[in-house]
Amino acid sequence: MKRSLLFLIVSFSVGIVSAQEGQTSNVKFSIKNSSILPKKVTIISYAPGESQNGTEQITMWPKSVKALYFKAGTRVYLASSKQVGLVMSGKRIDQDKPFLVVSKESESKTFVY
């Protein structure tokens, strides 16, 4: 009984480690609102290998910092109202110049806007 339980636990642990090695880890970076006024920000992203975009709208308080997590190669846009309108109508903006193309060098950096 104890041996079969031990075998099951070891097999499960090896499976988890193998699955994690196959995953691409996300790069963590931050954006900072440099203004003394709050800003509403819409973040639109296009990750490599994904057919859909990611969209998140946040309110950044004055001088606040927001941590973001994306795969390397992701094109990140701090979208204008025009870009938001295009995306909401089903179009793509990934041909526009992004705010950031995420790379390993982006790790732990803070980008001011």
> Which tens digit of pLDDT belongs to each residue from 7-62?
444 444 444 444 444 456 899 999 999 999 999 999 999 999 999 999 999 999 99
Give the per-residue pLDDT at 105.
Answer: 96
Burial class (CB in 10 A: 0-12, 13-18, 19+), 27: buried
Give the per-residue pLDDT at 3.
Answer: 52
Helix, strand and coil in the chain, % to nearest 5: 30, 35, 35
Give the per-residue pLDDT at 42.
Answer: 97
In the block, tokens 């790379």 appear at: 103
What is the average per-residue pLDDT within 70-84?
96
